[in-house]
Structure 1
Amino acid sequence: MSVVEIKNKLTGEKGMVRSKVLDFEQGVVVNLQLKAGKKIPRHHANCHVLVFVVSGEVWFGVGEQKFHLKTGSLLHMNPFEEHDIEAIQDSNLLVFKVGSQSSCNLKV
């Protein structure tokens, strides 16, 4: 069992904070904090990804679609789905990467 406390670390000019908060046998949980206007370019993961919006609002592009995610939204992506993110408001996301592929265990 693990218990983790997630703190707001979004300060300064950088506009993005990414930190691994939990590592387990077949995955990892990452806290992604973005300032309004910050964009993360298109990329993919080779495992299943769940994104939970703890607070804020983001545009989340998956393939050719764009989704407006806000506090309480949960999104699931299959392995290798191309995606990008743009923060509408300062946002705090939990990203769950699940799968046996070793690169799912993100090095942060």
Structure 2
Amino acid sequence: MYEINSQIAEQGFNKFQLQKLVKATHYEVLNISLEKGEVFPEHTSPTHAHLIVLQGEIIFHINGENFRLKEQQYFNFPKEQKHWVEAVVDSKFLVVR
């Protein structure tokens, strides 16, 4: 079955928003938007994860290091490591885990 979904485009920039795009047996895809200056609070991932910046610019904080990520950049990180994200500008990114 084929499906076209505009959920990513339709998700606005209103503080912090998180939507599950896909929930499968072995992985899930999260769509996250952050308004400029907003923070995705500190948390951990239950699995190794991949972050893909779709729009904007974020700072990814993990283990005392800061990684500045821009549109169309990819970042991966290990499971169970505390991390948090802040938006430099209005930003959207996917997390695949």
Report the TM-score, using the length of structure 1 for normalisation. Answer: 0.80
Shift of 1:64: 1.0
Which segments of 5 or more consecutive residues in structure 1 lack a partner in the other structure? Answer: 98-108
Match of 2:10 in 1: 8
* Residues 1:79 and 1:7: Cα distance change in structure 2 (over 3 Å): same
Match of 2:49 in 1: 49
- Equivalences for 1:1-108 in 2 at 5 Å? 3-5=3-5, 6-11=8-13, 14-97=14-97
Structure 2 contact 16–39 (Cα < 8 Å) conserved: no
Structure 1 contact 4–22 (Cα < 8 Å) conserved: no
* Residues 1:64 and 1:3: Cα distance change in structure 2 (over 3 Å): farther
Q: Deviations over 1:39-74 (max 9, x none)?
A: 122211121111100010001001111000000111
Report the TM-score, using the length of structure 2 for normalisation. Answer: 0.88
**Any runs of at least 4 consecutive aligned residues in structure 1 with deviations exceeding 4 A, and if so which?**
1-4
| Fraction of identical pairs, as percent | 25
Q: How many residues align?
A: 95
Shift of 1:3: 4.6
The separation in 2 between residues aligned to 1:23 and 1:2, in whole angstroms, is: 16
Shift of 1:16: 1.6
Which segments of 5 or more consecutive residues in structure 2 lack a partner in the other structure? Answer: none
* Residues 1:2 and 1:27: Cα distance change in structure 2 (over 3 Å): farther
Q: Provide the secondary structure at the position in 2 that maps to 1:51.
A: strand
* Residues 1:83 and 1:4: Cα distance change in structure 2 (over 3 Å): farther
| Aligned CA-pair RMSD | 1.6
